[in-house]
Amino acid sequence: MEILGASLRICVDDLETAIPFYERLSGGRALRFERGGVQVAAIGSFLLMSGPEAELEILRRVTATVAVEDVDEAHRLLTDLGATVLAGPVPTPAGRNLLAMHPDGSVFEYVDQRG
């Protein structure tokens, strides 16, 4: 499994206020979408999220988002290494993802850009 990069997950109270700071910091433009009632802005290596506290509480448990070439391959390797797949793979606006708990208890989201 090839890891292509990782995104830092940041929960913010006001997405509209946070976006300009992270756009200037990263030198990029926000790619925005909504998922499960949560507004998301992907800007460079930052993934900003804002929404209902109950949803954000769950999202805060995920350490980082890891971009991979193929989520199915990540699923096989993670399972072989003793990780527990909590959800997925499922389609997303940008590809597919899965949530996995590593043997040490940390939770990561793995994403690819395949349809």
pLDDT reported for residue 27: 95
Residue 32 identity (one-letter amino acid): R
pTM, 2 dp = 0.82
* Cα 40 to Cα 34: distance, rounded to the nearest angstrom: 6
What pLDDT digit, counting tens, does each position of 58-84 carry? 889 999 999 999 999 999 999 999 999
What pLDDT is stored for residue 115 in this prediction? 61
- What CA–CA distance (Å, rounded) separates 94 from 115? 8
Residue spans of alpha helices (H) in 33-70: 53-59
